[in-house]
Structure 1
Amino acid sequence: MSDIGNTPETAPQAEETSRETRYNPAEIEPRWQERWAADTELYAIEPAASGKPKYYVLEMLPYPSGKLHMGHVRNYSIGDALARYQWMNGYNVLHPMGWDAFGLPAENAAIKNNTPPREWTLSNIAAMKEQMARLGLSYDWQNEVTTCLPDYYRWNQWFFLRMYEKGLAYRKQSKVNWCPQCATVLANEQVINGYCWRHEDQLVEQRDLEQWFFRITNYAQELVDGLDQLEGWPEKVRTMQRNWIGRSEGAEVEFGIEDASSAPGDEPRKGTSVLPALEGVKLLQEKITVFTTRIDTIYGATSVQLAPEHPVAKQFAAADAELAASVENLIAQQALAREVGDIGNIEKHGVFTGHYAVNPFSGERLPIWVANYILADYGTGAIMSVPAHDERDYEFAQKYGLEVRIVILPRRVTDPSTGKEEEPMLPYTAEDSLLINSGEFNTLGNEEAQHKMAAFADEHGFGRAKVTFRLKDWGVSRQRYWGTPIPMIYCAKDGIVPVPDDQLPVLLPENIAITQQNGSPLSHVPEFLNTTCPKCGGPARRETDTMDTFVDSSWYFYRYTSAKDATAPFDSNAVDYWFPIDQYIGGVEHAILHLIYSRFWTKVMRDLGLIKNSEPAERLFTQGMVIKDGAKMSKSKGNVISPDEMIGRYGADATRAYALFAAPPDRDLDWQENGVAGVSRFLGRVYRLVMQYAERARAARGGDATATTPAAQAIQRKLHQTIRKITEDFAGRWHFNTCIAAIMELVNALYAAEPAIAAGEVSDAVLRDALEKLVLLLAPFAPYLACELWEQLGESGAILRVSWPKYDEALAREDEAEIPVQINGKLRSVIRVAAGASQETLRDVALADEKVQASLAGRTVAKVIIVPNKMVNLVVK
């Protein structure tokens, strides 16, 4: 559908050039824009007591960069069409907009342009808001949210304090992701293949810093479980979240560490039972804990391997200079692999520590290695290496000559050609297997063995069943200026002290010098840094880190329900009415970062007693990208098309309608300006058609629209088919491109009926009914033109408050259908049957057709394939 030149609205133009009435969006649209702006109640929400069903439709809020691009236009046009449709269906609609206004770009722009971030941001908001108004977007600006203003970010601070009280906000030193260009910490989710999410060419470094974290891992299981309830979300988004959370079922097992002073020699030695049974070997108090999803293979462990930064590795290295040098080399290898974004495919290297661990199941002494492919922050930072049944372990064992011992086999290992058993190809990792060489657990199936072995470990005190998650706690500290100040104070006497609620908001100072210096810019502002301890009244200092801006976007949609509330983040009663969001719309690039964080925040607010819902949005729609010159439209690629330019040439309606028409909304849109021009020509045809008959239509208001002639019945049939098509598309698949195409076909049918209209075969009442409903159908997609034509038809009042047209199935039904008949896939005839005829009727009529009979002469029909209402195919010999 992207080639506008092949669509129905470009039908012969002879009548267009003869019309005196011309469509002029430059005259029509500003006039209606002014009228809409003056009506402050037009898009406003109604009280819950109105009795109307509610519908909350929301597009993800933009960062105020200063200019909209066509990706924004597409996103907002989808939401706007849906909001207008729901208003016309009698819903109380909340369709708000706001600004994700904190963040690094404003700070960098301030450094580059010597403009304060607040001034830069608010001027951009004003410019983008003006563009949105020109596009005719139906936003309720009375509930606008701007996240960089104190009336919003004070509640970020309030939530931080509530999380601190609940133990969900905490501070610790940890290894963090550092972007040199951003000069700040990045969350794990903001590192893409080792590179900064904002700077695709900037490798991320690892640093040790004191940071604030949110304990999102407390909700890891619920975040996984909740995905099963989100049936209105795309499966690809749910899969991305499941993979990121990374739930793994397994067991933790503690391996004792042999006291080297009691070692019986370097040869491996087997005991007879559990850990204490290794006779004559003393164990250190410290143990090595490993997490494994395959405890059933533990008898196949031939070494224990540690991450280079594991505490036990550091302990061994501290007493052995040669080992210490090797461990440092392994750390450097990991750092290099991270820098190139290839840590998962690192060339495996390791070093034997000279120490042994003890397998608690077999009592066997296992050499302890340090390996560069084991990561300190993944699992426990230690593994039991089972080379026969793990690909990475097998590769490492082959390189360093470690034993490979098979302990599981396929349930069926017989070669059918020889009847002999065959060895599995190593490494053998299949889950459906039987245990061998595994002591008392021999012959058990792997699943049964996992349960029994975990229980055995628990009974003997050296292990337990365990569920782990890939998801890490959310690091929210940022060493930048333009963000929400973290409301904590450091006192020499009282330690970490939260800012009291009555001292919120902690205001971000204005007009400060911002440079990319070490530490947060706020640490160089004495009047901000120096304060008084709320507990003892003594001198203290403020936290100078600011919050990750994903905090702002984790709960903004709740604030929309009561954006002017000065006593609470939102009115809980309003949230109870409006939530969950009925339809959330945004890019799939937010599937992990924003959507996981917002789901976490929702569950925290529920547990704080502020809301009742557990998920923010019932349905999620991820629109496709806008593509130009083979790449995603973006400033960095220099292929951005300004909507202002398109509006100036073709009007806002044409620009919006093209964004909906050129491709299904979930697919990428290949930008073509001639497509906008084509849609503009189509809107001109609608305008001329309605204007030509407007006077007759006004005079026929209230008349009987019953169709009594074939020409009138044909118009009504096409009209009701179009209403049905668009109504079903809004309710289901959202193929707005085919909705607009259906309107084009309806317009063509009305132009084709002009001779019948002129001859009096179509009454003015039928004509009015068709034009009136045509305008209503157009309203979600081209609201300026629809409002203009609605008024020209003699109607008054907001078209949003007019009921969506209903189709009559009897009027929409075709009396007869033309069905092609194929023989062995080749068209041989076309038959006419009653619409909806049975398969038996289709078969009989097709076989009785003269052309078909002639083609069948001397041949036998082997099979009849019927696609109801579409085709009959005869398979013949």
Structure 2
Amino acid sequence: MVSDGDDFDPKTIDERWQRVWREERSWEVSNTAPAERTAYLLEMLPYTSGEPHVGHLKNYAVGDAVAHFLRRRGYYVLHPMGYDAFGLPAENHAIRTGKHPRLSTDESIAAFREQFERWGISIDWTREIATHQPEYYRWTQWIFLQLFRAGLAYRREAAVNWCPKDATVLANEQVVGGQCERCGTLVEQRQLEQWFFGITAYADRLLDDLDGLDWPAHVKMMQRNWIGRSEGATVRFATDAEPIEVFTTRPDTLFGATYLVLAPEHPLVDALVADSWPADVDSRWTQGASTPAEAVAAYRAAAALKTELDRQESKEKTGVFTGAYATNPVNGAKIPVFVADYVLMGYGTGAIMAVPGQDQRDWDFAAEFGLPVIRTVQPAEGFDGEAYTGDGPAVNSGFLDGLGVDEAKRTIISWLEENGHGAPTVTYKLRDWLLSRQRYWGCPIPIVYCDSCGVVPVPEESLPVELPDVRDYAPKGSSPLATAEEWVATTCPECSGPARRETDTMDTFVDSSWYYLRYCDPRNTEAAWDAQAVGRWMPINQYIGGVEHAILHLLYSRFLVKALADLGHLPVQEPFGALFTQGMITRNGAKMSKSKGNTVSPREIIDRYGADTARCYVLFMGPPDQGADWSDTGVEGVYRFLRRLFRFTTQVAGTDAAVIGASPDPDRDLALRRKIAWAIRKVTDDMSGKFAFNTAIAALMELTNDVSKALQDGIDRETAAFALSTTASLLLPFAPHTASECYHRLTGEHVWKQPWPEPDEELLRTETVELACQVNGKVRARITVPQDASDEVVRETALGLDEIRAAVGDRSVKRVVVVPGRLVNIVVG
């Protein structure tokens, strides 16, 4: 612990106030709190894969600041804590440490709890949960059963992303650049029988309801893009086999379709493949194969080794001709049918009409294979690119010629409907949530398989289906639970005959998609939650966490809430009313990692400087929604600020003198009181929905500097005590231990029990500021004006000064720039 020669001892101060809060149970809140004054403040719960890092410190320091502010504004704040204890992060941590996941997870939880307490985070510990505990995952299984009975949980065979290293299925969202987001291994495609949640049934509501959420615009856009709603039309292309159905968002370009492309997995591929190549086939279309069947088989085998993301993002356009042709319905043209992996079976119909004149991917493919390009929209004047995607009159398009894009779309959709191609169509990029995992450490799926009765849900009264202990939990390609033979063998709930348990476990995102509901009623043994308790607290007033969860966690949570509400179990339709995403802390410009040797241990910082320095610094580094680089010098600067405040507090609290210093001055006293009013307003504004903690802390540093100068020059003791106690009061959200210590020394009261300060508006109205007056950037004079003076008043006052008139001379004033609170710059020429 840093020693500076005075009695500022952060370790002792931290322990003293943490003991008071613990004994007083300061942060506990009752479900009987008045509903009109409740606020639910929540940070995303942590994975139990080791100890907390500075990213955790920032996340929970942000949340705790808001919690303290809201409490002192008169709200009953629910601020609980839990642990995302199942899943790959926790299991891989167990594998690294060589301990059973149950042991390593409990050790990690203990480390997190100990650190949260040392940080002084104001948590209601009576509501603590962990997702690996049977009393929690009993209700995760109950939620699965509700969705199963509603047809929203189902099992089917599907092409899935497979991580060979982790030996488990991954959702599309867990594949980044073709690699497992956790271990970086190249992901493979496999066909497996898997469990899904039917999130696609909620695609429109998940999309439309984003408009009512107070979320960052970029997060909303990420969800909109992931859901990927597209409006268009279905077109049927006749072939010698079955017709090929194509969904297109640009039916107005149909006259420019010069070839079709099927996904390698499309069910019509086998029926379409010709026996032999046409006599004049382009050699680029055959891939050197002697027959279409040989070419298509080889291409499909190669495509099976790629992930969907690889196929979407690859710049190289590959494909092979099936030997078959289709007929364009608007002009009767015969166009070749290709198989190419840039078309995905899961999007639209798994087939596209290729219009290279209006789509760059199609243009690239056409250039690679020597296919014709027909423009159907006249490019804007001066356009010199390849595919043209802008607006313009239709060309080369028969009865559409001359129409703009929107009118051409309406016209061709009507024509398609009249000619038997179907009504306007909507498709989505969103796919159902694949939740099966072939790993040990997860929530068991409450399903049994009976040879007589088939797939049978476990009765609710038999929950939880507890996860058995197994010695060998390492990934094997099939679930390690399959080796727990006594556990697997069970009795069918319907016929009492022999049955087998499902051995896959649930994706850990199922656990974390409803945990916030359990906090509302965590000790309920009869239900997952009490509807009245949920109605009192939900939706969450402020949710805080990393932007990396913008798609997975946030989207899944929104789906589950909507589904459970529709089934009559919840009184709300959205889980998170407002969202804040904090930026990442880097060091030396790089993401922190043990391999780079650039990590920062919160434990070491707190051992040296105390909890408040660590908390205050991660909030002072910069705007909390942006990234910031760690600075050891910056940490020491924050420590010095807290030490000075403590030293001044000790000086003022330890004297009975009416005046401190040799030369008191009423004007100096008034100036400091005005600065206090300014600081109250500044910090309050910065805390009120802005999360501008860095500028709020800077204002308190500025106020402390003014107190320092006043103590040196001479000040009324009452004013000095008021300034310091107000500084401590405003500091509580950022540095609660030091704030509590200083406030108590000055007033004998507990600061967290006091209402939030209110500024003296009269002082603010009469406050003046001094502005530098520049002419072409050079200071020529200074003026004193009311702080709330308008720009017009400031301009007139500056231009009326003799010094400014002399500096301007005969030149004309081109403009006057007013920088509020700082300067006036007169630009002349």
TM-score normalised to structure 1 length: 0.88
Give the structure 1 partner of residue 295 of structure 2.
326
Letter in 2 for 1:741: A
Partner of 1:75: 59
User: Deviation of residue 464 (structure 1)?
Assistant: 2.5
The alignment partner of 1:832 has SS state of: strand
Q: Displacement, 1:199?
A: 1.3
C-alpha contact 1:193 1:342 (8 A) present in aligned 2: no
Partner of 2:752: 800
Query: Residue in 1 aligned with 2:253?
Result: 297
Residue 586 of structure 1 aligns with an amino acid whose one-letter code is G
Shift of the alpha carbon at 1:178? 0.4
For 1:153-172, what aligned pairs fall within 5 Å after superposition?
A: 153-172=137-156
1:252 to 234, 239, 244: 234
Map 1:235-634 to 2 at 5 A: 235-258=217-240, 284=241, 286-317=242-273, 322-335=291-304, 338=307, 341=310, 343-410=312-379, 427-634=386-593
* Distance of 1:240 and 1:172 partners within structure 2: 28
Could you tell me how far apart the structure 1 residues matched to 2:210 and 2:771 are? Answer: 45
Change beyond 3 A, Cα 1:370–1:49 = closer
Contact 2:41 2:79 in 1 (8 A): yes
Distance 2:449 2:508 in 1: 23
Structure 1 residues 319 and 606: alpha-carbon distance in aligned structure 2, compared to 1, 3 A threshold: farther
Counterpart Cα distance in 2 of 1:121 and 1:402: 58
Determine which of 26, 35, 39 is the counterpart of 2:24: 39
Matches within 5 A, 1:578-727: 578-696=537-655, 709-727=666-684
Q: 1:860 to 1:575 in 2, by over 3 A?
A: same
2:226 aligned partner, one-letter code: W
CA offset digits 1:162-202 (Å, max 9, x no partner): 111111111111110001111100000000110101013x1
Could you tell me how far 1:673 is from its partner in structure 2?
Answer: 2.1
What is aligned with 1:274?
Answer: none
Report the number of matched residues. 809
In structure 2, give the amino acid aligned to 1:299.
F
Cα 1:114–1:336 change in 2 (3 A) is closer
Aligned pairs for 1:756-767 (under 5 A) are: 757=714, 762=716, 764-767=717-720
The 5-angstrom pairing of residues 22-37 of structure 1 reads: 22-37=7-22
Q: What are the ranges of 5 or more consecutive residues in structure 2 without an aligned counterpart? A: 277-289, 659-663
Change in 2 beyond 3 A, CA 1:397/1:738: closer
Distance 1:29-1:254 versus aligned 2 partners, 3 A rule:
same
Q: Distance in 2 between matches of 1:165 and 1:375?
A: 31
| CA deviation vs aligned residue, 1:825-849 (integer Å, no higher than 9, x gap) | 3322222334434445433432332
CA contact (8 A) 1:409 1:433 kept: yes
Q: Alpha-carbon deviation of 1:444?
A: 2.8
Q: Paired residue for 1:703?
A: none
**In 1, are the aligned partners of 2:489 and 2:498 still within 8 Å (CA)?**
yes
Identity %: 49
Report what 1:261 is aligned to: none
Q: What amino acid maps onto 1:253 in structure 2?
A: V
Q: Is the 8 A contact 1:305 1:384 kept in 2?
A: yes
- Greater RCO (CA < 8 Å, at least 6 residues apart): 1
Residues 347 and 866 of structure 1, relative CA distance in 2, 3 Å threshold: closer
Query: Quick check: 1:822 aligned with 2:806?
Result: no
Deviation at 1:608, TM superposition (A): 1.4
Query: Measured at CA, do residues 332 and 675 of structure 1 come closer, stay the same or move farther in structure 2, by a change above 3 Å?
Result: same
Amino acid at match of 1:406: R
Distance in structure 2 (CA, Å) of the matches to 1:868 and 1:107: 56
Structure 1 window deviating more from structure 2 (437-446 vs 289-298): it is 437-446
How far off its partner does 1:32 sit? 2.1
Query: Corresponding residue for 1:94?
Result: 78
CA drift of 1:336 comes to 5.5
Asked whether the 8 Å contact 2:263–2:343 carries over to 1, the reply is: yes
CA displacement, residues 611-651 of structure 1 (integer Å, 9 cap, x when unaligned): 23222111111111111122122344332211111111111
Q: Which residue of 2 aligns with 1:833?
A: 785
Contact 1:821–1:873 (8 Å) recurs in 2: yes
Please report how far the alpha carbon of residue 681 of structure 1 lies from its aligned counterpart in structure 2 after TM superposition. Answer: 1.9
- 2: CA distance, partners of 1:206 / 1:611: 37
Query: In the alignment, residue 419 of structure 2 is paired with which amino acid?
Result: H
Instruction: Give distance in 2, aligned partners of 1:550 and 1:71.
Output: 20
Shift of 1:813: 4.2
Structure 1 counterpart of 2:696? 739
The residue that corresponds to 2:722 in the other structure is 769
Distance 2:119 2:339 in 1: 61
Distance 1:337 1:102, change over 3 A: closer
1:142 aligned counterpart, secondary structure? helix
**Shift in alpha-carbon separation, 1:708–1:603, aligned structure 2, 3 A:** farther
Q: Indicate if the aligned counterparts of 2:236 and 2:245 stay in contact, CA closer than 8 A.
A: yes
Q: Write the distance in 2 (CA, Å) between the matches of 1:317 and 1:332.
A: 16
Deviation at 1:471, TM superposition (A): 0.9
Determine if the alignment matches structure 1 residue 116 to structure 2 residue 100. Answer: yes
Cα 1:569/1:339, change in 2 over 3 Å: closer
More off after superposition, 503-512 vs 674-683: 674-683
For residue 279 of structure 2, what is the aligned residue in structure 1? Answer: none
* Cα shift at 1:364: 3.2
Q: How far off is 1:51 after superposition?
A: 6.2
**8 Å CA contact retained: 1:308, 1:314:** no
Specify the alignment match of 1:220 in structure 2: 203
Match of 2:795 among 833, 836, 843: 843
Write the letter of the residue equivalent to 1:32.
Answer: W
Could you say which residue in structure 1 is the equivalent of 2:284?
none
Q: Distance in 1 between matches of 2:753 and 2:701?
A: 24
C-alpha displacement of 1:592: 1.1
SS in 1 for 2:548: helix
